[in-house]
Amino acid sequence: MTKEELKARNPWAKFLDKIKDNLELYAEGGKQCYEEDLNSLEEFNNLLDKKSDESKKGKYQLELPPCPWDGNPLEANVIFLTLNPGYVEKFNKGFSRLVSCNDDLNARILDFRKKTLRLEADLRPEYDCKQEPMTTFDAVEIMDDMYWTNKFKSLYKALEIDQNEEGKMDFRKKVSILQYIAYTSEKFKGPEKETFKSQGFTKELIKFRLENATSENLPLFVIMRSRDRWIKLLGELITDYPSHFIFRKQVTIKGNLQDPRGQFITENSFSKDDDWARIINALK
């Protein structure tokens, strides 16, 4: 399979085609999702509606665009595998509504989001200080709660990258974040048995990268959260290509080994002594 053939199978490109590219940063009452995921999503959300307020925090927020990945997992050297995008109301809803009042800024962000879904964007848009009232780069950072920017600080330091937008440009082309589930929620509540059709493409994409690896060590897939779910989804890919996967150190919680919730990326975060060096070398 070629890269273009894989991209033609991308369910998120099909999602955009279906809605004729009419993506919204926040669509009140909307259902911004891949068509073949909708029934499972509604079934799960309806189930949580009958439970406690705490359980309802696990509902998937379909008013927001799906986010299966940040950056371009087809091009990145290091791909961090995580769980699903987190929902922070003041950013995901409040700031998105504020942005929608500025047609130019709204259009720029949506263009970037659509390119990302079509596997045609870097981790962040190019920085252009002339953009008003703010750069696309800064707006996307705010909408994402600066989450990964803060997590990457130890990498910036180790790579001696300047803590400014220009200094991060080369770095972000080498990094991607791949979500286990593409839909945003305040808390993760499952479901235990995944039935989202779009997850099949996630495995296809990882398999393509592994089968077309350009060197023994790249790409690197760093499993940050929910290793058991990723192991179940990827199956034989992990055992067939063990040198391409890195796991975080687990911690003992209530007598059981588990992944720590905080997705810290530091020299002491990973299972093997040389994992940090492998990540750093892949990003140089």
Phi then psi for residue 240, to 5 deg, are: -80, -25
Identify which of 161, 179, 148 has the alpha carbon closest to the alpha carbon of residue 73.
179
Identify which of 233, 211, 208, 220 has the alpha carbon closest to the alpha carbon of residue 155.
220
Domain ranges of the chain: 3-283
For residue 126, pLDDT over 90 is answered with no
For residue 163, pLDDT over 70 is answered with no
Tokens of 104: 């130019």
Q: How would DSSP label each residue in 202-217? A: HHHHHHHHHHT-SSSS
- pTM beyond 0.95, yes or no: no
Above pLDDT 70, what percent of the chain?
Answer: 96
- Mean of the per-residue pLDDT values for the chain? 90
Tens digits of per-residue pLDDT, 8-61? 999 999 999 999 999 999 999 999 999 999 999 999 999 999 999 999 999 999
Q: Which pLDDT band, with edges at 50, 70 and 90, does 189 fall under?
A: confident
Query: What is the average per-residue pLDDT within 59-77?
Result: 95
Q: Which pLDDT band, with edges at 50, 70 and 90, does 67 fall under?
A: very high
Tokens of 34: 């891949």
Query: What is the average per-residue pLDDT within 143-161?
Result: 88
Cα–Cα distance, 278 to 271 (Å, whole number): 12
Cα–Cα distance, 135 to 117 (Å, whole number): 20
CB 217 within 8 A of CB 77: no
Give the pLDDT confidence score for residue 124 in this predicted structure.
Answer: 81
Give the pLDDT confidence score for residue 246 in this predicted structure.
Answer: 96
Cα–Cα distance, 77 to 284 (Å, whole number): 10
Residue 43: Cβ-neighbour burial (10 angstroms; 0-12, 13-18, 19+): exposed
Residues 6+ apart with CB under 8 A from 273: none
What Rg, from alpha-carbon coordinates, does the chain have?
19
